[in-house]
Amino acid sequence: MTLESISIEGLKPQAVPHQGQYPSATVSPEHHPSDTLPALQNFLRRMDEAGLSNKGYTLHALRHTFASELLNAGMRLECLQQLLGHSSIEMTRRYARLTDNTRREEYFKAMQIIESGGVHGHYRRHSPLPQIS
């Protein structure tokens, strides 16, 4: 997905303000390598068109939002890791956050499978555990 494919209207509800101490420094062209400058310039232009300039929104925050939205829509963490270009799954875990609603849905889905007898793993013991003396 490129910034060109993101609609301006789509930025408004999804973009998250930067929580850092100096948000303006994070959207300034002089703080980014030259290979990311065109994307940054496009992002700043789109933010201006959306009326969101100078409100603390950053490419970095949008990247976190993008990762979290995909994770909560059901994308596996390993796929998300590759899409984001992370070398470690731990970095992807830091980027993408599950919502409470997703956690709740996953819990009840798993419990329904367990309660219906759909899990028959080798970890189940059918004999009592030995007494510890």
Q: What is the pLDDT of residues 51-73, one digit of tens each?
A: 888 888 888 888 899 999 999 99
User: Under a CB-based contact definition with an 8 Å cutoff, are residues 26 and 18 in contact?
Assistant: yes
Residues sharing a CB contact under 8 Å with residue 84, sequence separation 6 or more, in sequence order: 63, 67, 91, 92, 95
The segments of the chain whose pLDDT lies below 50 read: 1-30
User: Under a CB-based contact definition with an 8 Å cutoff, are residues 80 and 92 in contact?
Assistant: yes
Residues sharing a CB contact under 8 Å with residue 36, sequence separation 6 or more, in sequence order: 59
Tell me the pTM.
0.56
Structure tokens given for 30: 């002089």
What pLDDT sits at residue 123? 56
d(CA 70, CA 83): 10
Structure tokens given for 53: 């300039």
Place of tokens 């949008």: 62
